[in-house]
Amino acid sequence: MTHSVPETLAAAAALCGCDDDELSRFAQHLRALPLYQAARINPFTFAESAGIGPEMAVDLFVHGAKLGLFDLEWGMVCPLCGAITHSVAELDQVAEDVLHCALCNCDVDSVLDDTIEVSFAYAPRDSRLDLHGDFAAYHHYYTSSSYPYRDQWRNYHERHTVAEVQLGPGQQASVAFHSQAGQLYRLLCLETHSGADLLVAPEAEPTVSAGDISLSLSDAGFSQGQVLLPPGDATLSLANHTDQPVWCRLLRMDMDDVEAIKRLGPAQFGRRLTGKHLLNNQAFRDTFALHELAPDLKLKLRSLTLLFTDLKGSTALYDREGDLAAYRLVQDHFAALKQVVRNHSGAMIKTMGDAVMAAFPSANDGTAAAIAMMETMQGLPGRRPDNQVGLKVGLHAGPALAINAGQSVDYFGQTVNIAARVQGLADAGDICLTGALNDDAAVPALLAGAGYDGRAEMARLKGVAAEEQVYRYCRAS
């Protein structure tokens, strides 16, 4: 049975606790999106425009994708020019090591923190995305909506395009242009994210005559990556061997203009849903079957905040309270901590005995979650003041690998080891963290504001060669 868009949205809202007012604003804004924007939705900018909470918007899109209303896409984005180099439907299709940007003609590291960006595609019934003939929409679709210099690059394209051609599947066409001595031209196709260099160099041995440049385009790119030609009038013949319409553009490379854009400063992307953020979204981990990923999956994260907890005194609790009461308390504590993690943009990675491992996209999120966990434990049903059970928390941040652990995505590396060891130093009620978090001024300020006093101490952590400076935070008496 096929459900209508309102019915599907209502089902998604019920799964994530979205109220009627937020759902109404979400649906209204979704209907108003132009097709080229609906084809790649940044849930955070969508939430801001719609006037709803950002994390609620992410959860609605995640559940909507699971219910078939949206397509979830993993985009590989060049940090230099904002171009979406590739877009894939599955996590294990994401480039593990490097990705190549045809616009910049360079390789960049593939990391879930910043070069992997997640979007959602919404295609209303009987609609068809047609970007050809509207370069602003075309450029919008093929570059990250959060890239700060997108308009500058679009203007660069408009100023320096010397020829262009639109081809249907299997079509051929020719364009004429005048090549200037010493000039570099770049032929681009954004549909396949492919590029080819045409270098005009009289002193070089040309590979073609000026009037006979013939290239074909397949899903793998152009038939040649570089062509040398003499100056003068030229004709470029193109054949589209893909099964989709393409728009190929020949640009005159103006390095002065390129450098002017670069002088604007390093690209500080606006808020967007990165691969790291989605992997640490509880709704995503609960909803999607991550165990179906490739067994050798290894994706890099530049910085991940990891939190470990454990219950002090839980063994004695079983002796004192009995198996049933103790088990119920431990399970209630798991459920309560999971909700805290979710409320702070994190995800529960796994439980181990009475312990929890959770991950967060930022140090602030992880620290705020640790504080909230302590408060939640105080009001846990069935917990008595005299049962001597207390929560211990440890945090660390650093690089990690996302791997397929057989049933879910897990994290691997020394950052994980250190975070677990730091938790082992904590006593009941303590939040222990490393300098990787404490050096961020916002973190100790957050803890102080919640009534915690901190002190630094040196500790020897198992498996770590050098002593580590650890910061122990306890509630002020």
| 172 and 257 part of one domain | yes
Closest to 147 measured CA to CA, from 300, 275, 276, 266: 266
Measured distance between the N- and C-terminal CA atoms of the chain, rounded to whole angstroms:
61
What is the band of 172 on the pLDDT scale with cuts at 50, 70, 90?
A: very high
Predicted pLDDT at 229: 85
Does residue 211 register a pLDDT over 90? Answer: no
Paired sense of beta strands 106-109 and 221-222, if any: unpaired
| 350 and 438 part of one domain | yes
Q: Is residue 99 part of a domain?
A: yes
The answer to whether the beta carbons of residues 390 and 376 sit under 8 Å apart is no
Instruction: Starting at the earlier edge strand, list the strands of the sheet with 184-189.
Output: 161-167, 246-252, 184-189, 194-200, 226-229
| 298 and 333 part of one domain | yes
| 421 and 454 part of one domain | yes
Query: How does the average pLDDT of the chain come out, rounded?
Result: 87
The answer to whether the beta carbons of residues 116 and 77 sit under 8 Å apart is yes
Return the percentage of the chain with pLDDT > 70, whole number.
Answer: 91
What is the band of 311 on the pLDDT scale with cuts at 50, 70, 90?
A: confident
Predicted pLDDT at 315: 62
| 124 and 175 part of one domain | no
Q: Is residue 138 part of a domain?
A: no
| 247 and 181 part of one domain | yes
Number of domains in the chain: 3
- pLDDT, one tens digit per residue, over 73-110 is 999 999 888 999 888 888 888 888 888 888 788 888 89
Q: Which of 262, 277, 298 marks a domain boundary?
A: 262
| 79 and 27 part of one domain | yes
Q: Which residue has the higher pLDDT, 1 or 353?
A: 353
What is the band of 186 on the pLDDT scale with cuts at 50, 70, 90?
A: very high
Q: Is residue 235 part of a domain?
A: yes
Mean pLDDT to the nearest integer, 197-202 = 84
Helix (H) or strand (E) holding 343: helix 323-343
Residue type (1 letter), 129: L
Q: Is residue 173 part of a domain?
A: yes
Domain with 394 in it: 290-475
| 232 and 355 part of one domain | no
Predicted pLDDT at 389: 63
| 256 and 392 part of one domain | no
| 222 and 111 part of one domain | no
| 180 and 256 part of one domain | yes
| 307 and 170 part of one domain | no
- pLDDT, one tens digit per residue, over 364-401 is 999 999 999 999 988 776 555 554 568 999 999 999 99
What is the band of 31 on the pLDDT scale with cuts at 50, 70, 90?
A: very high
Q: Is residue 283 part of a domain?
A: no
